[in-house]
Amino acid sequence: MLNRILCIFLALSFVSCSMFKGRDRQRKIQTEIISKIKGNSERLSSCAKDAKLFEIFKKDRVRVVLHISINNKSQIEKFQLDDQQYPEKFSECMFKVVDLINYSKIKDNELVELEQPFIFSKK
């Protein structure tokens, strides 16, 4: 009985380690992607200014949350902005900027999902 418990414990610890390694890898890829997106922050800010986001929302600062999923072909599989009503011009511009980024190679059958908030200022 004790041997069975030890075997189960060992099996679970090996599975747990691989899950942590998988999470670490996923987190590393997400960090790389976020860095690449933030590297285009000037272009994304231009999207907000060109679409007159500040006038539409009557604010000097607008918070936008970007949700994306990237597949193993380094393509955007899902692109979504938070639940505010943004002008189509803004959404399309954001998509074009994010879509043109070259993302890290992702393993087969892997999907990287992330959520990244941005605060655009009128300045």
Which sequence spans correspond to the domains of the chain? 2-121
Give me 102's structure tokens. Answer: 């070259």
Give me 33's structure tokens. Answer: 């992607």
Using CA atoms, how far apart are residues 96 and 52, in angstroms rounded to an integer? 17
Give the pLDDT score at 111: 86
Give me 18's structure tokens. Answer: 């691989």
Tell me if 79 sits within 8 A of 98, measured CB to CB. Answer: yes
Give the pLDDT score at 81: 96
Q: Which of 121, 101, 115 is nearest to 66 (CA)?
A: 115
Give the pLDDT score at 86: 96
pLDDT per residue, tens digit, the chain (123 aa), is: 666 666 565 555 554 443 445 677 778 888 888 899 999 999 999 999 999 999 999 999 999 999 999 988 888 999 999 999 999 999 999 999 999 988 877 777 788 889 999 999 987
pTM greater than 0.85? no
